Structure 1
Amino acid sequence: MKKNRYIYPAIFQYADDGISVSFPDLPGCFSAGVDDEEALSMSKEAMALHLFGMEEDKDKIPEPTPTKQIKVDEGQSIVLIEVLMPPFRYEMWNQAVKKTLTIPKWMDDVAKDHQVNYSRLLQKALSDHLGIKENPYD
């Protein structure tokens, strides 16, 4: 089930060259940083991206393990990471996607003369064709 806010425990592993971050409940989700601030920032981004991928794939999103049930080794600490998904989803859904198109050269020449913005024109044509009047992800 999609939620708008997730909080998961992360394990920060401290070493001389920085901090590596893993999430016990999210296999395959890893991050790192040179200091606590960067590790926290990068782990939020990694967790949001991982959860977004799970949502898009319709995977079951696990419940977070209570921190008192997680055992850590020396040089490790548990940090709770919180992400708010609506702004992340909006960013992901609205990122630009490059598409290649093919038109006859004569048409391109005429379009250049008329200063046609291909991206804007294609977006408008797709919106009209699909019956979309506004961004469905807004």
Structure 2
Amino acid sequence: MRYPIAIESEDETHAFGVVVPDLPGCFSAGDTLDEAIQMAKEAIELWLEVQIDEGGDIPEPKSITEHQANPEFAHWIWALVDVDPAILSDKAERVNITLPARVLRRVDEAAKSRHESRSGFLARAALATLRREAS
């Protein structure tokens, strides 16, 4: 998947600013053009992960030509950022973990009381922890 990014040229006091028009609120910056593009890729991946975690929709990218018609982006530089579609996958993967028996019992009790599977409970708890740490 390739998302167009609009890059505002740097000046003596500002870095290159980046906006991802297809992803509301997704923006980034970099001291060099290459760094701005790399930081945009990270911002896009994080934006997509949060949308998926929160059950939101993933917008399809529009063409650069469509975005160039927007006067807000007059004189901006355009680039495309490749995003690996695998990061969008919610396909279940089997993993092998080791937990102390007493922890596993507590996990199973908590999952059962919430009418969840062990895997579902652990996934939800992990995502909640990651969201708290990100904010």
Quickly name the TM-score band, shorter chain normalised.
0.5 to 0.7
What code does the residue aligned with 1:121 have?
P
Looking at structure 1, the residues matched to 35 and 52 of structure 2 have their Cα atoms a distance apart, in angstroms, of 26
Unaligned runs of 5+ in 1: 1-5, 91-118
Q: Identify the match of residue 37 of structure 1 among 28, 31, 34.
A: 34
Determine what percentage of the aligned residue pairs are the same residue: 28
Unaligned runs of 5+ in 2: 91-97, 109-116, 124-135
Q: Which has the higher strand share?
A: 1
Query: In the TM superposition, what whole-angstrom CA distance separates every residue of 1:34-90 from its partner, at most 9, and x where no partner exists?
Result: 00121111101000000111111121211211111122322x111111111536889
Task: Find the counterpart in structure 1 of residue 2 from structure 2.
Answer: 7
The alignment partner of 2:74 has SS state of coil
Indicate whether 1:52 and 2:53 are aligned.
no
Q: Identify the match of residue 59 of structure 2 among 57, 62, 72.
A: 62
Indicate whether 1:83 and 2:83 are aligned.
yes
Contact 1:9 1:80 in 2 (8 A): yes
Cα gap change, 1:39/1:89 in structure 2, threshold over 3 Å: closer, same or farther?
A: farther
Task: Find the counterpart in structure 2 of residue 125 from structure 1.
Answer: 104
What code does the residue aligned with 1:52 have?
E
Q: TM-score, normalised by structure 2?
A: 0.60
Looking at structure 2, the residues matched to 29 and 83 of structure 1 have their Cα atoms a distance apart, in angstroms, of 14
Q: Which has the higher helix share?
A: 2
Indicate whether 1:73 and 2:64 are aligned.
no
What code does the residue aligned with 1:7 have?
R
The aligned length equals: 100
CA RMSD of aligned residues (A): 3.2
